[in-house]
Amino acid sequence: MSDRRTAAIDGAKWPSFLDDSTRPEIPKLEGVTEAQRGPGRHLAEVHDSFRENMRTLRRLIEAADKGEAEARAAKEAAENLPLLANYRRFGNLCGQHCAIIEMHHSIEDQMIFPALGAKSGGFRAVVERLKAEHDVVHRLLERLIEELETLMQKPDAGRFAAARETYDALESVLNSHFGYEEAGIGDALGYFNLVD
């Protein structure tokens, strides 16, 4: 793993990883029709559902931090998020939110990105960067799960602060990643007819 990705995961330098100046330039597409923009709008809608779950989780964290919610009550509320409840059936503690993000990224990494990367060197650079960002997201998800499990076993201020710091990093990485991905591949999905 590159130093940049490791630093992003460790929190020391992750904001520089999100700096748009470090991201490949997005190739320009001419003559994109409204119909071709449809898949990109759908991608943004999928990302919006993730963003909404993150806002809900943020409110729960803030309430717990202010002492307005017991840790158990916050955990129960988080577990009842629609995106979290279903994934528990598959035995993963991070819930469906984690699973859907992983599934979403796996589809992109295995199907969409190779097809788009074959279109030009510019798109290849964009999708390689997006794949690297997926690695960071998944490492942060894994770390957050571990920290939340530890926090639930032995709640204390230090463990809460560590979990919150990791969540803050994850939220920043995801929001930045979603924006770059929407701009980078949104129009290309329909333009190159990469999705049905």
Total domain count for the chain? 1
Query: Which residues make Cβ contacts (< 8 Å) with residue 91, sequence separation at least 6?
Result: none
pLDDT at 28: 96
Residuewise pLDDT in 10s, the chain (196 residues): 333 333 345 544 556 677 889 999 999 999 999 999 999 999 999 999 889 888 887 887 777 777 665 556 656 666 665 544 433 333 333 445 566 777 777 788 888 999 999 999 999 999 999 999 988 888 888 888 788 778 777 778 888 888 888 888 888 999 999 999 999 999 999 999 998 6
101: containing domain: 33-191
pLDDT at 12: 43
Name the maximum alpha-carbon separation found in the chain: 57
Written as one string, the DSSP assignment of 117-150 is HTT-HHHHHHHHHHHHHHHHHHHHHHHHHHHHHH
Q: How far is residue 136 from each of residues 57, 69, 102, measured CA to CA in Å?
A: 20, 30, 12
pLDDT at 15: 61
At CA 164, angle to CA 163 and CA 168, rounded to 5?
Answer: 120
pLDDT at 87: 35
In-domain check, residue 17: no
Q: How far is residue 9 from each of residues 129, 133, 135, 144, 168, measured CA to CA in Å?
A: 15, 10, 9, 11, 12
In-domain check, residue 118: yes
pLDDT at 145: 78
In-domain check, residue 182: yes
In-domain check, residue 68: yes
